[in-house]
Structure 1
Amino acid sequence: MTNNSKSNPQIIHKCRGRVRFRWKKLYHPHLNPDYLEAWLEAMPGINEARINPQACSVTVSYSGSAEMTEKIRQRLVCSPEESFSRKFPAPAKRKFVDAAAAGTIATVSPFLPIQAKTALAYATGISPILRGLDTLINRGLKVQVLDMSTIGLSLLRKDYNTATSIAAMIVIGDYLKQITEDRTNNLLRSLMSDPVEKVTVCKNEQLLDVPFEEVEKGDTVVCTAGEIIPVDGVITEGEVLINQTSITGEARPLHCKTGDQLISGYSVIEGSVKIKAVKVGSETSIKRITGIMENSLMEKSDVELESDRLADKLAPISFGTGAALFALTGDADKALSALTVDYACAVKFPTPVVIKTSMYTAAKSNVIIKSGSALMKIAKADTVVFDKTGTLTKGEINVAEVIPCAEITKHEILRYAAAAENRSFHPVGKAIIAESERLGLTIPDSLPDESRIAHGVCTSIEGKTVRVGSRHYIHDDCGIDCSCISNVATDLRKQGYILVYVAVDQSLAGIITMQDEIRPEAQNILEKLKNDGINKIIILTGDHRETATAFMEKLPAADSIYWDLKPDEKAIMVKRLKNKGHKIIFVGDGINDAPSLVEADVGVSVPGSTTLAKDASAIILTGQNLEGLLVARKTGKQTEKTLKGCFKAGVGINSGLMLAATAGLLKPVSAALIHNMTTFSILGISALISKRSPQI
C-alpha cells in the first residue's frame, strides 16, 4: 500500500454511526471481500462492514464517537495480505434492492403492454443466459445451464411472463442464499474480535495507552477491575480475582498473585496487576483462537467440496428429463417445468450453513473445531487413542517419596534431579523442581550442552555426570546397575507410582516416586464414548509395565494399554491401527504427542496442551475437562445426521416435483416457486437444528 493520499480510502458519505469509503484498492483482482469484512468487523466498535467491489466502496456501521471514522480508515490502510489473496475473483453479491426490483418487475410484467413486457423479459433474462453460457463453455453442464435453458426457451416461445418470473426467482434466490450464508458467517465472526482496543503499558514509570497491535514482548501491562487481559504473561506485581469462563469454561473465579502466569482473554473481577508480556498480538492465546476461526470461515472443508461435486453430478438429471419430455411429448411446458427442478440446490446449499453453524455451536461450548472435515471425521471414528499423562490424568504430578539406595541424602537426590530437569517442560520435571523449591533446596547449575534422549536426561552438575529418567534409560541405555532397588520398585509400580531413577556418575543414587491423579471425569467420559459408538479405547504411555497396569485397573472402560513407548512409537501405533481400517481419534497434550496428533484421522488437544500440540490438532478443547471430547463427537454426529436429512428431504421433494412436472400438473413458474420455497425451508430448518447444543 502506498502512502499516496489518492490511493488511500476516501470518505464519500458520513452520518451518525455510519461511514462509506471509496478505495481504489478494492479493484484488486484477488480481493477477498469476505475476509476483509470479517477483519474489519473484528475491530472493537464496528458493528457491520459491507464491501461493494463493483462500486469500489466499503460501508461501515459503528458505535462510538466521530473519531472512529479515522480509526476505521487506518484499519483499512493496514489490512492484511490475506484480504487480497483470493485465487479467483469474488462473485458479485446481490443486494436487497436487486431482489426487490426483480420481484417488482415479475409482479407488474403480466399487466404491461407486449412491447414493455418483451423488453423487460430480455433485460432480466440476459444475465442468467450469459452466465449459463459461460458456465457451459468453462465448467460443463451445471445448474446455471439449467437456468439459461429455462429462460432461453421461454423467450423463444414468447412466454415472457415465465421468463421474467424465473429470472426474478433466480435473483431473489441468490439474495436469500447470500444472506443465509452471511448470517452463518457472522456467527463465526462474532468469535474473532480483538480482546481489547487499547492497552495500558507502564514505561519509564508512566502509564501509556497504546493500540493492542503495538504492545511488545517484555512490556509491563497494567490491568485493573473490569478490563480484559490482553497478553499472555507473568504477574510481576499485585493480585487479582479473575473470571476465566470465556477461556476455560470454569465458572469459579481464580485468585492470581505475583509469579502466576496469565493468558489473554481472562477478565479482571477485582484488584489490579502488572503483567510482563511474554506473548503479544497474534501470538496470544485469544488471537490464536481467532486465527483458527478466520481459517474456518474462509476455507471450504472436504465435505463442502464433496457436496459441490455431487451437486454438479445431479444437474444433468433435470436437463436430461426435460429434454426427454420434450422429445417424447413435444410439450414445452412439461420440459420447462422439469428444467426448473434442480436437485443440486438441496445438496449444495445447506452444507456450508450446517457446517459453520455447528462449528459456532461447538465453539460456544469451549470446543474449537478447525474445519468441517474434522467435524465429519470425529463423527465417523470408531477408535479413541489416549496419551496417558496430562490427558487422562490431571498432569499435576507430585513427588510422593525419595528413596536413596546409596550413601546420599534424599535432598541431594532431589537437588541433582531438579538441576537436570531445570529446562524441562515435562510434568515429571516440573514436579521435581517444584518439590525442591518447596523444601528450599538450592538447585545447582547444569551445563547447557546437556543431551536428552527419549526417556531421560544426561547433564554435568558440579563436576559429576547426572542422569535422570526411566529404568529403561538408566539401566538399558546407560548400563547402570539398578538391581539394588528392583524389589522395592516392582512393589511401587504395582501400586501405580511413577518411578524416576537418578544416577550419579555410574552408580544409581536412588528413585523418586511420583503420582498423577486421574481426571475425575475420565471413567465417565470413556463409558459415554463407548455408548456413543466407539468400539475400542486404547491408552499409550511411556511408563513401566507395572505402573501402566495399575493405571489401567482404575479405568475399566478402556480396552487396552501399551507401555514403555517413545513418542515416535506412539505415532507408529496410531499408523498401524489406521492401516487395519480403524478410524482414529488421538487425544494428547504435549510436544511429544504432535506426531500422533498429525498421524491420526482426528487429533484432539486437551485443556492445558502445549502450543505445538494445539497447532498439530484438528480439534482443541478449551474447557477444564474432557467433556469437550463428547461435545465434539456429538456435534459431528448431529451435523452428519442433519446433512443426511437435508439430502433425503431435497431429493424426495424434488423427485415429487419432477413427477408432477412430468404429469403436467405443474407450470414452469409454479415448479420454480415451489422448488425455491422448499430449498429455503430445508436451509432454515437445518440451520436451527445446528444451533442446538448436543446433549452429552
Structure 2
Amino acid sequence: MNERDLQFERVEVSVTGLDCADCARHVKDAIEAIPGVLEVEILFSAQKAAVILDPAKAGLEDIRRAVKDAGYSIRKPEEGIAAKATFGGKFTRQILTLFGMVFGVVLFAAMVGEWLGLFEVATKLVPWPAWLAVILAGGWPVFWNVVRATAKGRITSHTLMTIGMLAAVAVGEWAAAILVVFFMRIGDYVETFTAERARRALKDLTAMAPQTARVERDGAEVEVSVTEVMVGETVIVRPGEKIPVDGEVVAGQATVDQATITGESMPVEAGTGAKVFAATIARFGSIRIRTLKVGADTTFGKVIKLVEQAEASQGEVQRLADKFSGYYLPVVAVIAILTFLIGRNPLATAAVLVVVCSCSFALATPLAMIASIGAGAKRGLLIKGGKYLEALNRADILLLDKTGTLTLGQPKITDIVVYGSFSETEVIALAASVERYSEHPLAEAVRSRAKEDNIPLLDPEEFKAIPGQGVRAVVNGRVIAVGSRRMLSDTNFVQSADQLEAQGKSILYVVCDGKVAGVLAAADTLRPEVPSALAEIRNLGIQTIELLTGDNERVAAPLAKKLDLQYRADLLPEDKIAIVRDYQSKGNVVVMVGDGVNDAPALAQADVGIAMGAAGSDIAIEAAHVALMREDWALVPEIFQIARRTMGVVKLNLVFTALYNVAGMSLAALGLLPLTLAAALQSLPDIGILANSSRLLRRKI
C-alpha cells in the first residue's frame, strides 16, 4: 500500500439521470469543485461517479450536495453485485413502437398544420397566457436546469433550444414554441432510452448474480442474503440453483454451467476439491462449498466492477470527441448569431439553435464501446476499456508466450536420465519435493509423475525461486536445485541432453549438493485450435507474429517451425519487456498473449496484454488489458474482430453525426428548415447512433 492509498480513499456513488454527455460533464465538474477531491471518473454505463478524495476534507455528504446543486441526485447503493435489467426484450420493442407512433403522429400534425397555416389561426384564437401556461408546464424541468446551468456559467444543448423557443415566442409563434418544447422533452426521453439500451449488456450481466445463499449455521440450513455470507462458511447448492460464492467443493458432485464466467456453453463436472465460481449454475447434482470469496471479491464481482470501470480507459477517438463536444455549442451559438445578422430571420436563427445535437458527438464512441465491452463480458471476454479496442484495431505486432499459452500448459515427464549413484525414483522424489508448492507447469508435471509412481514427498525448506532459471530448496538436509541449463552454469556445471532437446522437449536439471543427479525431459501439447487461430489472425492483416519463450532454442525451434513463427528463446522476464519496448519505440502497436502470471510484466508493458484462462486468477485479471476467461485460442482472433467491428461502428456514428449537424444547420440557416421540423429532427442522431451501436449487442461475438 503506497502513500496515496493511505491518504486518500475511493468513493463510488450512483447518480440518477446520467443519460447524456452534458449530464456526465456537469456532474464531474460539480464534484471536482469540492475541496479535497483529487480525481473524478464518470462511469456512464453503470450510472456512477467514482471519486478519489481526502476524507479529512471531503465526504459523501459534500458529494451529495454538489450533485444536487448540479441538478441530479444520488441513489441509495444497491445491495450485492446485482442490478435488475431494464429496457429489455419485448418491453423495449413495445416502448420503441409506441414512441415511434406518437412521434410520427405529432410530427405529421405539425407539418400539415404549418403547411395549411393552422398554427397562425390557432395563435389568433388562443390567448397568449394559455400558450405561456402550456409552455411552462411542459418545459419547466428543462428551463429550471437551464437557469441553474447558466448561473454556473455552463452552456448546454438545452440552453440553445430554450433560446430558440424564446425566439419563437418573441415573434409570436406560440404553436411553434410549444412544439419545440414537446420535441425537447421527446429528445430527453430518446437520450434516456439510448443510454439504457447501451447499458443493457451490463445490466443483463449483473442480473445473473444470485441474491440469496443457503448457508449451514449451527447445524441447520439458513437462507440469507449473499451480502451476509462470510468467508469460511459452508454453502449448500441444490440442482438448478446458482452458486452464490467463489469456493471449493467439500462434498457432493454437480454438473456446473460456467457460461456466466467463461462464456463456454459446455458444462463441467465439479466434485470434491473442485473450484467453483459465483453466478454459475449447478445444473445437475448437489454440492457443499467452502466459501473462499464473497460479493465483489468473487471472480464474477471483479468482472462486473471492471466492466463498469472499463469506459474510464478512454481511447484517443473518445477523448477527441469529448473535447470537440465541449467547443461545439459555442461554435453553434456563433453560427446562430451570424445567421441572424446576415438574414435578419429570427425563426431561421431559432432553427439553427434547435436542430443541433451536441450530445451525439460525445455519445458516438462510448455507446459502441459499452455495447462491445458488455456483450464481450457475457462471452467470457473481459475488455478493460475502449482504448484497448482502439489499440487492437491498430495492432501490427503479436507476441506469444509458449507454455500455458500456445501449449496446454500440462506437460508430462517423458524421459528420466540419472547420473552417478542416483536412481530414477530418488531423482523424481528430490525434484518433486523442491517443486512441491511451485505453480509452474513443469513443476506440476514433476509432481504428477511422483504421484503416478507413488513416491512420497518431503517438505522443502529455504525455498527460493530464481526468475528465468529455476528453484532451489533444502530437502532432508540436502541443497537441491531444479531448473534450466542457465542454473547449472551459475553453479559451474554444464550438462546437456541434446537428443532430448532436439525433439522439442523441455529439460529440467536436478542438482543435489552441487552434483548433477539427473535430467528430466517433459513434453507439452500444442493447443489444437492454435494453427487455425493464427491463420485467422494473419488473414486480419497481422503478419509479424513472434514466439517469446524462456525455453532454450532446441525446444522453441520445432514449435516455431510447425506454426511458421519467428521466435526468440532463453528469455528472462526482463528480456520480454525489453522486446516489447523495442517494438514500441519503432512505432509499432504491440499485442502480447500470455498466461497472465509469469508474463504479467510483459503483458502490462504491451499496448494490449491478453491473458489466457483468467477465470479465478486475480493476477491474470489485474495484469492484462484483455482477459480471456477460458483457455480457448479461438477467442484471440475474435478479440481482433470485435475491435474492428467496434471501431467501424464508431466511425460510422461520427460520420453520420457530422453530416447530420452540417446539413441541419445549413438548411436552418438558409431558412429551408422550419422550426418545428428542426425540433423534431433534433433526436435523429441519437436514434441513429442507438440503432447502429445496437448491432454490436445483437450480433453474437
Normalised by the length of structure 1, the TM-score is: 0.80
Which residue pairs with 1:478 in the alignment? 491
Shift of 1:41: 8.9
C-alpha distance in 2, partners of 1:138/1:407? Answer: 86
Q: Closer, same or farther in 2 for the Cα pair 1:405/1:303, shift >3 Å?
A: same
1:649 matches 2:656: yes
Listed as ranges, the matches of 1:503-522 within 5 Å are: 503-522=511-530
Indicate the structure whose relative CO is greater, using CA pairs within 8 Å and at least 6 residues apart.
2
Task: Give the direction of change, closer, same or farther, for the CA distance of 1:283–1:142 in structure 2 (3 Å limit).
Answer: closer
Paired residues for 1:231-630 under 5 Å: 231-296=245-310, 303-342=317-356, 344-450=358-464, 452-475=466-489, 477-479=490-492, 481-483=493-495, 486=496, 489-556=497-564, 558=565, 560-608=566-614, 610-630=617-637
Read off the aligned partner of 2:369 and give its amino acid letter: I
SS of equivalent residue, structure 2 residue 290: strand
Deviations 1:304-344 (CA, angstroms, capped at 9, x unpaired): 44322222333344333322222222222332222323253
1:154 corresponding residue in structure 2: 168
1:115 to 1:554, Cα distance in 2 relative to 1, 3 A? same
After the TM superposition, which residues 190-201 of structure 1 pair with which residues of structure 2 at under 5 Å, given as runs? 190-193=204-207, 195-201=209-215
Which one of the candidate residues 663, 666, 670 is aligned to 1:663? 670
Q: Secondary structure at the match of 1:233?
A: strand
Aligned equivalents of 1:626 and 1:582: distance in 2? 23
Matched AA of 2:693: A
Preserved CA contact (<8 Å) 2:401 2:549: yes
- Corresponding position of 1:632: 639
> How far apart, in 2, do the equivalents of 1:337 and 1:140 lie?
21
Cα deviations across residues 126-184 of structure 1 (Å, max 9, x unaligned)?
76566556656756665344324323433433433333332332222112101221232
CA distance in 1, matches of 2:679, 2:294: 54
The 1:342–1:451 alpha-carbon spacing in structure 2 relative to 1, beyond 3 Å, is same
Q: 1:300 to 1:600 in 2, by over 3 A?
A: closer
> Following the alignment from structure 2 to structure 1, what is the Cα–Cα distance between the partners of residues 463 and 74?
46
After superposition, the Cα gap between the structure-2 partners of 1:42 and 1:502, relative to the gap in structure 1 and judged at 3 Å, is closer
What's the offset of the Cα at 1:574? 1.4
Output aligned runs, 1:39-50, within 5 Å: 39=78, 43=82
Paired AA for residue 658 in structure 1: M
Q: Does 1:692 align with 2:689?
A: no
Confirm whether residue 28 of structure 1 aligns to residue 69 of structure 2: no
TM-superposition CA deviations, 1:40-63 (whole Å, max 9, x none): 59558x6769xxxxxxxxxxxxxx
The equivalent of 2:190 in structure 1 is 176
CA distance in 2, matches of 1:507, 1:544: 22
**Residue of 165, 173, 185 corresponding to 2:179:** 165
Counterpart secondary structure, 2:205: coil
Query: Hey, what's the Cα distance between the residues in 2 that align with 1:452 and 1:506?
Result: 16
1:529–1:136 distance in 2 versus 1, CA, 3 Å = farther
Aligned twin of 1:72: none
Distance 2:652 2:428 in 1: 61
Matched, 1:112 2:111: no
Following superposition, the deviation at residue 415 of structure 1 comes to 0.9
Q: RMSD value over aligned CA atoms?
A: 3.3
Amino acid at match of 2:473: T
Residues 400-431 of structure 1 deviation map (CA, whole Å, 9 limit, x = unaligned): 12111232111111111111111211111122
SS in 2 for 1:472: helix
Asked whether the 8 Å contact 2:614–2:630 carries over to 1, the reply is no
Give deviations 1:240-268, integer Å, cap 9, x for gaps: 33333333343444333333333334322
Q: Structure 2 CA distance, aligned partners of 1:143 and 1:689?
A: 27
Q: How many residue pairs are counted as aligned between the two chains?
A: 612
Structure 2 CA distance for aligned equivalents of residues 634 and 683 of structure 1 = 20
1:75 maps to what in 2?
none
Q: Distance in 1 between matches of 2:372 and 2:323?
A: 22
Residue 240 of structure 1 aligns to which amino acid in structure 2?
Answer: A
Distance of aligned partners of 1:341 and 1:199 in 2 relative to their CA distance in 1, 3 Å threshold: closer
| Percentage identity across paired residues of the two chains | 25
Gaps of 5+ in 2: 1-59, 88-98, 114-118
Alpha-carbon offset, residue 351 of structure 1: 2.9
> 2:223 — aligned with what?
209
Instruction: Name the stretch that deviates more: 335-344 or 645-654.
Output: 335-344
Offset at residue 474 of structure 1 (A): 2.0
Q: For residues 600 and 625 of structure 1, what CA distance do their matches in structure 2 show?
A: 21
Deviation sequence 1:653-688 (CA, Å, 0-9, x none): 332233322332222222222233x22331332133
Contact 1:318 1:343 in 2 (8 A): no
Distance change in 2, residues 1:266/1:327 (3 Å)? closer
The whole-number CA distance in structure 2 between the counterparts of 1:321 and 1:218 is: 66
The aligned amino acid for 1:28 is: R
- Contact 1:200–1:209 (CA<8 Å) still a contact in 2? yes
The alignment partner of 2:542 has SS state of: coil
CA contact (8 A) 1:221 1:274 kept: yes
Output the CA distance in 1 between the equivalents of 2:427 and 2:74.
57
C-alpha separation between the residues in 2 aligned to 1:157 and 1:151? Answer: 10
Q: 1:30 to 1:460 in 2, by over 3 A?
A: farther
Q: Is the 8 A contact 2:190 2:687 kept in 1?
A: no
TM-score relative to the length of structure 2: 0.79
Greater Cα offset, 323-332 or 171-180: 323-332
